[in-house]
């Protein structure tokens, strides 16, 4: 990778740390779609997963390594031989492979989690880096919980792992505890006091528990860090990671202050954000910086007046710089298959020829009902095609009776894979509750509904209604979504989508090799 001293290396961890967040698990197909889009966004490093964690994680890292050409593909590993060997195997086919090894260094982790002395930790870290360096040239080391590690010990660890062959040393604020000024001082101290620091790139990886992940990362860059780890839409463990779009746009918008650049094609930010929201089912809050629906909406009259006179009165970034073109009418009833496929490509969505045929037929049906078709409509239409979760339960039929003077009752018929067609009925507090209870009787899977959301995809009476839900079962959180003109049908399909994901998840967890403690 060619960069100059002021070009920041953008390390995207949406597919690893982001995917670790509850309800964010992605299928292999979804991960590949996101990886291709990250390449189009021109991130420098894609952390594709934690290969030892499960056969599925291994497969994803390997396939991503085979799919993308330009970015470095990193696989995560603990400082344990079998983790490192598995990560090496997973990235072996990548054009630019990296192994990212980590070990906790803070006192609290050493004493309570690892039960290791300072010397043991340094020894294990050095062994891990040396082993990784025998497999690949590009080795990153992370002292987990670095922000709470005693600075003198952190300095010794960093020096030792660089000596052992680490080419990047990442300083994680694992629990989101840091404060910008303090974090910047920590990076400055490492730059000043680690004798061999010029032989490695300093990276930072900040979590957002106190809402300061982006601020801490920026402070670290200002102090000399040259790689930043981040995730699209700020996904990640608990409150998430440093948001990719925020850090990139902060650097781009304030060159006067940071005097830094990135290689990111910012025009791809909006498509990437939407794709990640679609595949994970995690909606972007309307007021989220850069990619929220309201991020460029000016409501107050005085603001609108200013904007009309001169945009820069209230706009510090142009919507088109992140690929946002308001109210863009994308396709209509006369659009052909080629235009449809082109638009999907621009949205980062790649379908197989069969999926494309089906999605195009649905698009034509919708175009007959709806004059104006926007990106959101297209994304909604094809999302079901992208779902490659095996359908253990498929809705065949449903019937609902409801009203102000009758008890809501639902009869549901479901095809169960390898078990034929089953029908059952239930009453509930409302028609959707009755449908869900009837479904539960058939699936036999206890599910608690945690969240239920209905929205119209676009404006107008002809709009598709989308239901998104979140369910919990066996300590797993899963999401489901479906869009139909009939809200109750959309609700039933969304519920079954979540149940099918749960079935896949339970199966996957049975195959899981480690209970990770990141
Ligand atoms: O938050 C963290 O410390 C991590 C490391 C594996 C880098 O995710
Ligand atoms: Zn993390």
Q: Tell me: the pLDDT tens digits for 165-197?
A: 999 999 999 999 999 999 999 999 999 999 999
Q: What is the CA radius of gyration of the chain?
A: 25
Summarised one tens digit per residue, pLDDT across range 323-350 is 987 545 567 777 888 888 888 887 778 8
* CA 402 to centroid of ligand 2, rounded, Å: 48
The ligand placed nearest to the CA atom of residue 77 is 1
User: What integer best gives the mean pLDDT of the chain?
Assistant: 90
Quick one: which atom of ligand 1 is closest to the CA of 142? Answer: 7
Top-ranked range on mean pLDDT: pick from 43-47, 282-286, 316-320: 43-47
What the block records as the tokens of 278 is 């679609």
Q: Considering only CA atoms, which residue is closest to atom 3 of ligand 1?
A: 174
Summarised one tens digit per residue, pLDDT across range 76-103 is 999 999 999 999 999 999 999 999 999 9
Which sequence spans correspond to the domains of the chain?
10-280, 292-324, 337-386, 393-515
Give the pLDDT score at 303.
65
For ligand 1, which residues put their CB under 6 angstroms from it?
17, 102, 142, 144, 170, 172, 174, 205, 207, 518
- Comparing C-alpha atoms, which of 311, 330, 426 is closest to residue 374? 330
- Comparing C-alpha atoms, which of 284, 219, 207, 295 is closest to residue 251? 219
* CA 176 to centroid of ligand 2, rounded, Å: 9
Residue position matching structure tokens 């479906």 = 482
* CA 172 to centroid of ligand 1, rounded, Å: 6
The pairing of strands 261-262 and 406-416 is unpaired
Side-by-side strand order, sheet with 420-427? 393-403, 406-416, 420-427
pTM (2 decimals)? 0.81
The pairing of strands 465-473 and 448-456 is antiparallel
Summarised one tens digit per residue, pLDDT across range 392-401 is 999 999 999 9
* CA 269 to centroid of ligand 1, rounded, Å: 24
* CA 504 to centroid of ligand 1, rounded, Å: 26
Quick one: which atom of ligand 1 is closest to the CA of 17? Answer: 8
Give the pLDDT score at 380.
78
Residue position matching structure tokens 């294990």 = 124
- Helices of type H across 11-135: 19-20, 28-41, 55-67, 81-91, 107-108, 118-135
- Tell which wins on pLDDT, 382 or 218: 218
Summarised one tens digit per residue, pLDDT across range 114-141 is 999 999 999 999 999 999 999 999 999 9
Contact between 467 and 475 under an 8 Å Cβ cutoff? The reply is no
d(CA 465, CA 455): 6
* CA 237 to centroid of ligand 2, rounded, Å: 6
Pocket test for ligand 1, best of 142, 149, 175 (most atoms within 8 A of CB): 142
d(CA 243, CA 147): 19
Provide the CATH topology of domain 393-515.
Double Stranded RNA Binding Domain (3.30.160)
Contact between 481 and 466 under an 8 Å Cβ cutoff? The reply is yes
Backbone angles phi, psi at 22, to 5 degrees: -55, 130
Residue 39 has pLDDT above 70, yes or no: yes
Contact between 178 and 212 under an 8 Å Cβ cutoff? The reply is yes
> What kind and span of H or E run contains 279?
helix 269-280
Q: Residue 482: how many CB atoms within 10 A of its CB? A: 25
d(CA 63, CA 32): 8
The ligand placed nearest to the CA atom of residue 170 is 1
Q: Considering only CA atoms, which residue is closest to atom 5 of ligand 1?
A: 144
Q: State the architecture of 10-280 in CATH terms.
A: Alpha-Beta Barrel (3.20)
d(CA 226, CA 263): 13
Give the pLDDT score at 119.
98
The ligand placed nearest to the CA atom of residue 53 is 1
Structure confidence at residue 3 as a pLDDT band (50, 70, 90): low
- Comparing C-alpha atoms, which of 128, 104, 102 is closest to residue 116? 104
């Amino acid at each position: 990778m060619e960069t100059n001293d002021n070009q920041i290396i953008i390390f995207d961890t949406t597919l690893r740390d982001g995917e670790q967040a509850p309800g964010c698990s992605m299928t292999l197909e979804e991960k590949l779609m996101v990886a291709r889009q990250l390449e189009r966004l021109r991130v420098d490093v894609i952390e594709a997963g934690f290969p030892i964690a499960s056969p599925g994680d291994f497969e994803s890292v390997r396939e991503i390594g085979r799919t993308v050409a330009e970015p470095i593909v990193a696989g995560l590993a603990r400082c344990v031989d079998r983790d490192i060997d598995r990560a090496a195997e997973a990235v072996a086919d990548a054009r630019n492979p990296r192994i990212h090894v980590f070990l906790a260094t803070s006192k609290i982790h050493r004493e309570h989690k690892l039960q290791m002395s300072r010397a043991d930790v340094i020894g294990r870290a050095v062994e891990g880096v040396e082993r990784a360096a025998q497999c690949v040239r590009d080795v990153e080391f992370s002292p987990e919980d670095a922000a709470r590690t005693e600075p003198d010990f952190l300095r010794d660890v960093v020096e030792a792992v660089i000596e052992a062959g680490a080419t990047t040393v990442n300083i994680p604020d694992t629990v989101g505890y840091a404060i910008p000024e303090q974090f910047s001082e920590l990076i400055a101290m490492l730059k000043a006091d680690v004798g061999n620091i010029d032989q490695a790139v300093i990276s930072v990886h900040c979590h957002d528990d106190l809402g300061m992940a982006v601020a801490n990362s920026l402070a670290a860059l200002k102090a000399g860090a040259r790689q930043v780890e981040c995730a699209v839409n700020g996904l990640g463990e608990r409150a998430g990671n440093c948001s990719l779009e925020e850090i990139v746009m902060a650097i781009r918008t304030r060159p006067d202050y940071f005097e830094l650049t990135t290689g990111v094609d910012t025009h791809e930010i909006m498509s990437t954000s939407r794709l990640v929201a679609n595949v994970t089912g995690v909606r972007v809050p309307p007021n989220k910086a850069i990619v929220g629906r309201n991020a460029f909406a000016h409501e107050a009259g005085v603001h609108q007046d200013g904007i009309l006179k001169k945009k820069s009165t209230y706009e510090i970034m142009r919507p088109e710089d992140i690929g946002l073109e308001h109210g863009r009418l994308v396709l209509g009833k006369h659009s052909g298959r080629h235009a449809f496929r082109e638009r999907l490509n621009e949205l980062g969505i790649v379908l197989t020829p069969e999926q494309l045929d089906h999605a195009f037929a649905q698009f034509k049906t919708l175009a007959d009902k709806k004059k104006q078709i926007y990106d959101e409509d297209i994304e909604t239409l094809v999302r079901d095609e992208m779902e490659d979760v095996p359908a253990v339960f498929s809705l065949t039929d449903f019937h609902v009776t409801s009203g102000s003077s009758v008890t809501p009752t639902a009869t549901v018929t479901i095809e169960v894979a390898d078990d034929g067609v089953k029908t059952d009925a239930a009453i509930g507090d409302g028609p959707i509750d009755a449908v869900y209870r009837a479904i539960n009787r058939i699936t036999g899977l206890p599910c608690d509904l945690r969240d239920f959301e209905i929205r119209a995809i676009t404006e107008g009476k002809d709009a598709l209604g989308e239901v998104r839900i979140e369910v919990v079962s066996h300590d797993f959180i899963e999401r489901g979504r479906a869009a139909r003109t009939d809200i109750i049908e959309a609700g039933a399909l969304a519920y079954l989508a979540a149940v099918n994901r749960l079935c896949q998840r339970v199966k996957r967890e049975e195959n899981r090799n480690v209970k990770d403690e990141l």
